[in-house]
């Protein structure tokens, strides 16, 4: 993670790149497909919210809590039951490795 100097001694983190694994994109597609059976607009809205929250992790990579899977962090999408798993590899990017329903086994 790169750091930028803002002013006298305060450090600010630059926006990190957010990358999705193929598995995470498959999870999002499955969520959208499931919801689309009931409401196409809701499915689009929820998929957009998941991507927006994942992008937010690029701005604030320390959000969330230590994940169930060692070496990961979890961030719950506000007002939705979905949890975004991110992998912290001490690099300049956040890698989203999965998106799960909160009641789903991970």
Domain locations in the chain as residue ranges: 17-101
In 3D space, the residue among 25, 17, 21 whose CA is nearest the CA of residue 50 turns out to be 25
Nearest residue to 98 (alpha-carbon basis) of 33, 30, 49, 48: 30
How confident is the model over 27-81, as pLDDT tens digits?
A: 999 999 999 999 999 999 999 999 998 888 888 877 888 888 787 888 888 888 8
Quick one: which of 15, 92, 95, 27 has its CA closest to 60? 15
Please name the fold of domain 17-101: YaeB-like fold (3.30.2310)
Cut 0.85: pTM above it: no
Q: Can you give the pLDDT at residue 88?
A: 64
């Amino acid at each position: 993670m790169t750091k930028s100097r803002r002013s006298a001694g305060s450090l600010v983190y630059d926006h990190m790149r957010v990358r999705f694994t193929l598995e995470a994109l498959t999870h999002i597609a499955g969520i959208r497909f499931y919801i689309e059976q009931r409401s196409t607009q809701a499915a689009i809205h929820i998929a957009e919210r998941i991507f927006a929250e994942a992008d937010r992790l690029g701005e604030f990579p320390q959000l969330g809590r230590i994940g169930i899977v060692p070496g990961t962090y979890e961030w719950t999408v506000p007002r939705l039951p979905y949890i975004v798993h991110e992998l912290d590899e001490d690099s300049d990017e956040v890698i989203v490795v999965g998106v799960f329903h909160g009641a789903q086994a991970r």
